[in-house]
């Protein structure tokens, strides 16, 4: 394999992990998510919660640990030890009525009441502080990193109307000009409809002028193995939808990118999965963590993935960077600082801090 100077070199084959994993039934069942083939506990949004699944040690990448012990390992050039995949789901650029409602009602998990007042003021003035892509990129440039921006191409949503891509065409250009990635955030109603997904992908490609290779499903709607098959048929090279909306961690025990395996057809699915591990709103709304406690989880996960030479996926929504109006005043300024703390810690640990396309391109090109 040719040596590279700017990217990590991962020394394990995507094609021969299956035989090794099949030697341990418990590990194999976790890797393939066997229990999710016939789930009985989808919630009202047609998605599975962590609480409904019998998975132990979700904060430990058990399958990756197993592979490492069997001789699989990742080696990084330029003294890089592991990778951190940075991403942002752009769910909103405008204030929704749902967010307005949440800013008025005194929810017990409000952290910043002044933020709610400023949110209402901004709402009445029709301001758009969620169009903050430049702010995010400027922060990331301090650490010489790039990230992925997953955009909705449909404004139909269960939580109210979303945005039109035409509204952020200049921002899309800015993202691409700064070597970041534009990926598709599938619409709420399209995640299991192949034609709708294709239409959204084509629309995003037309407006961005770039081929779209990465995808993440909105609000983690995901059905195993159907979703992987649909996304592959739609022309995506990688997906990053595998995660629980209500718990951070490793949904199938992997902290390395991999190609999924369909146990019904007894063959791999030709799409790269880069599982999402850490999500801002998951820690805030579902785990009820404050920034200090959230950092303790994040630091431990970074350290864990570093030891295994894996890839840690981080999702920080754009509205988290818009304090004091961040998601109706629910996020205080410490949540923005927490993202920079991740960048700083990863940079000091010599991680490859990058976007999903860069990781996918490298792996698929070399393995």
User: In this predicted model, what pLDDT tens digit does every residue of 248-272 receive, in sequence order?
Assistant: 999 999 999 999 999 999 999 999 9
Cα distances from 118 to residues 98, 114, 128, 338, in angstroms, run 16, 6, 13, 22
Instruction: Mean pLDDT check: name the lowest of 62-66, 213-217, 218-222, 303-307.
Output: 218-222
The span from the CA of 179 to the CA of 307, in Å, is 29
Three-state DSSP class for residue 153: coil
pLDDT at 14 > cutoff 70:
no
The span from the CA of 232 to the CA of 270, in Å, is 7
Three-state DSSP class for residue 87: strand
Phi, psi of 86 (to 5 degrees): -100, 130
Instruction: Mean pLDDT check: name the lowest of 13-17, 128-132, 279-283.
Output: 13-17
**Residue 1 confidence class, pLDDT cut points 50, 70, 90:** very low
> Rounded to two decimals, what is the model's pTM?
0.93
What pLDDT, on a 0 to 100 scale, did the predictor assign at position 242?
A: 95
Percent above pLDDT 90 for the chain: 65
What single string gives the DSSP state of each residue in 199-217? HHHHHHHHHH-S---EEEE
Residue that the structure tokens 């058990």 belong to: 62
Evaluate whether 60 touches 300 at the Cβ level (below 8 Å): no
Mind listing the domains of the chain with CATH numbers? 17-366 (3.20.20.370)
What pLDDT, on a 0 to 100 scale, did the predictor assign at position 3?
A: 37
Verify cis geometry, omega within 30 degrees of 0, for the bond prior to 225.
Answer: yes
Residue that the structure tokens 């996304």 belong to: 231
pLDDT at 322 > cutoff 50:
yes
The span from the CA of 311 to the CA of 242, in Å, is 14
Task: For the chain, give percent helix, strand, coil, nearest 5.
Answer: 40, 15, 45
- Cα–Cα nearest to 21, from 56, 57, 72, 58: 72
**Residue 16 confidence class, pLDDT cut points 50, 70, 90:** confident
User: In this predicted model, what pLDDT tens digit does every residue of 41-56 receive, in sequence order?
Assistant: 777 777 888 988 878 8
How confident is the prediction for the chain on average, in pLDDT?
Answer: 89
Instruction: Mean pLDDT check: name the lowest of 11-20, 86-95, 243-252, 278-287.
Output: 11-20
């Amino acid at each position: 394999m040719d040596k590279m100077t700017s990217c990590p070199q991962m020394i394990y084959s995507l094609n021969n992990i299956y035989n090794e994993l099949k030697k341990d039934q418990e590990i194999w069942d976790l890797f393939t998510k066997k229990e999710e083939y016939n789930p009985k506990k989808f919630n009202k949004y047609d998605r599975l919660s962590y609480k409904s699944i019998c998975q132990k040690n979700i904060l430990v990448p058990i399958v990756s640990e197993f592979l490492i012990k069997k001789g699989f390992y990742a080696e990084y050039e330029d003294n890089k030890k592991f990778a951190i995949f940075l991403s942002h789901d752009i769910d909103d650029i405008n204030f929704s009525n749902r967010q307005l409602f949440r800013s008025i009602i005194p929810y017990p998990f409000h952290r910043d009441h002044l933020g709610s007042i400023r949110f209402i003021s901004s709402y009445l003035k029709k301001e758009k502080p969620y169009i903050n892509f430049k702010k995010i990129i400027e922060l990331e440039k301090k650490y010489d990193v790039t990230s992925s921006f997953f955009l909705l191409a449909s404004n139909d949503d269960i939580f109210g109307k979303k945005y039109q891509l035409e509204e952020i065409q200049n921002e899309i250009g800015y993202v691409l000009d700064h070597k970041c990635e534009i990926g598709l955030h599938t619409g709420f109603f399209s995640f299991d409809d192949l034609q709708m997904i294709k239409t959204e992908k084509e629309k995003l490609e037309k407006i961005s002028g770039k081929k779209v290779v990465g995808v993440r499903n909105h609000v983690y709607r995901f059905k195993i193995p159907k979703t992987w098959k649909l996304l592959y048929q739609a022309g995506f090279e990688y997906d990053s939808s595998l995660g629980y909306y209500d718990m951070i961690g490793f949904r199938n025990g992997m902290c390395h990118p991999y190609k999924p395996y369909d146990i019904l057809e007894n063959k791999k699915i030709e799409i790269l999965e880069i599982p999402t591990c850490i999500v801002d709103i998951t820690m805030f709304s579902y785990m009820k963590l404050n920034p200090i406690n959230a950092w303790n989880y994040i630091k431990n996960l970074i350290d864990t993935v570093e030891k295994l030479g894996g890839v840690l996926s981080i999702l920080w929504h754009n509205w988290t960077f818009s304090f004091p109006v961040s998601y109706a005043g629910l996020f205080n300024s410490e949540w923005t600082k927490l993202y920079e703390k991740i960048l700083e810690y990863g940079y000091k640990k010599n991680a490859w801090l990058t976007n999903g396309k860069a990781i996918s391109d490298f792996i698929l090109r070399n393995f």
